[in-house]
Structure 1
Amino acid sequence: MTSTTPATRVAFLHTGAVVIPPVMELVGEQLPGLSTVNYLDDRIVADLADPAHQESVAERLADLAAAAKSAGADVVMFTCSSISHLAAPTAEKAGIPVLRIDEAMADEAVAAAGRVTVLATLPTTLEPTLGLLRERAELAGTTPEFVSEVVPGAFEAVAGGDRAAHDRLVAEAIERHAPTSDVVVLAQASMASAAEAARVEVPVMTSLRPGIARLAERVQAG
């Protein structure tokens, strides 16, 4: 365990309630005693795919980040890959640093410049994740090959309450792509449970643990 900077408060901004418990569990492991506050807008992912509401998302994120700042937060962390591309403009509007939970995962994935397969259950998450991977690859000076797939039926399964079917479908996709991949990236934190079901030899990367580890490094640095 590590100690935290007592004055630090971190606000987590979520687009789905399912990710809050695992994030808080990891924070408890890696940053015991950290002051946290959670914000949830569970319409964001749907609205990103709806032309009538897309433009409202950036403003809503800025408002939530501003609320976090007013509540004493020193930093905000986005826990959803679908909004990673909005971190910088949100930080600029709200006047508070905004971190991306999937950035550390992306750095690990592109480090070897091999073939990276990206799996998602929603198109609205796949494109931002690919964008982040390309951004981090450029910064690292690497040139990975990217392959991607939206796993058919997986989102519908989990949205209907069938987590087992979701995990099976995602695990099957992992196993299908693994023989021709150097690493498999799961674009959504909610997909992490499927990684445990897949029987593959290549690394299967998820965002939560490396993301919170990087947050811990920042908090400890002061």
Structure 2
Amino acid sequence: MPPLTNADDMNRQPRIALIHATRVAIDPIETAAKALWPEAETISILEEGLSVDRQKTRELSGDMLRRIVDLTRYAEASEADGVLFTCSAFGAAIDRANAEACIPVMKPNEAMFDAAFGHGGRVAMIYTFPPAAAGMEEEFRDAAKERGSDAEITSYFCDGALEAKRAGDDARHNLLIAQTARTIEGADIILLAQFSMAGAADEVRKFTSVPVLTSPETALAEIRRRIETNQ
């Protein structure tokens, strides 16, 4: 965050740019922001082409990397104090954007991973968007190594849930994820990988006694910390 220089700046609300690759991720993080940091101003930037194009390739292309960096620059030009991406399939590109930005830029799941390490070494992750899994697993292993954790992650794909969400059938989306959670054995913690899955948490908890973490709440708390401490 730039230094405060006058009374108007000191009274200005902090502004968070939320960058989405799918519209189903918007409501969960905006709801979390209103509940956990109501003083902050949020602006949502939607670029659905990223999600469409990401499904067509196994690896992040140079074009997608440039688009992520350009979106971050746009957020900076919009006077954002921090940027939070809400799609889990662009980790390496978001790292590049963060390295080049003058404000904090966060991947959607890094805060959730940090929280998971405190629950034990057997981490289960449910995901609904196939391109997100490999990158998230790599991010998890990198984070575990950096923090000296021996935690291991096992991923579980929930087929049909994302399609139900996109069709507006939240009840089916939540039930399918809960049913997937019920099949998980021996886990210390269950992660719901994507922001769009956050609304399923209460239903999942009916099917399992294992603690459940979602991305929006942990991410919002961490981007607030980084903005307020200028990190």
Q: Which residue of 2 aligns with 1:181?
A: 187
Query: Residue type matched to 2:121 in 1?
Result: G
2:17 partner SS: strand
Query: 1:54-73 counterparts in 2 under 5 A?
Result: 54-73=61-80
Q: Deviations over 1:79-107 (max 9, x none)?
A: 12122332221123455431123211101
- Structure 1 unmatched runs, 5+: none
Q: Deviations over 1:157-189 (max 9, x none)?
A: 223332222211110011110x32111111111
Verify the 8 A CA contact 2:29 2:195 in the aligned structure 1. Answer: no
TM norm structure 1: 0.88
Equivalent of 2:139 in 114, 127, 132: 132
Aligned CA RMSD, in angstroms, stands at: 2.3
Equivalent of 1:115 in 119, 122, 144: 122
Q: Please state how far the C-alpha of 1:221 moved relative to its aligned partner.
A: 2.5
Verify the 8 A CA contact 1:181 1:202 in the aligned structure 2. Answer: yes
Query: 1:70-109 counterparts in 2 under 5 A?
Result: 70-109=77-116
For the residues of structure 1 that align with 2:33 and 2:80, how far apart are their CA atoms? 15
Q: Please state how far the C-alpha of 1:66 moved relative to its aligned partner.
A: 0.9
Determine whether 1:10 maps to 2:19.
Answer: no
Query: Residue type matched to 1:182 in 2?
Result: D
Query: Residue type matched to 2:24 in 1?
Result: V
Q: Which residue of 2 aligns with 1:207?
A: 215
Verify the 8 A CA contact 1:110 1:133 in the aligned structure 2. Answer: no
Q: Deviations over 1:130-159 (max 9, x none)?
A: 122112111221112321121122223223
1:196 partner SS: helix
Stretch moving more, 157-166 or 118-127 = 157-166
* Alignment CA distance shift 1:208-1:93 (3 Å): same
For the residues of structure 2 that align with 1:161 and 1:22, how far apart are their CA atoms? 14
Percent of aligned pairs with the same residue?
30
TM norm structure 2: 0.84
For the residues of structure 2 that align with 1:152 and 1:104, how far apart are their CA atoms? 25
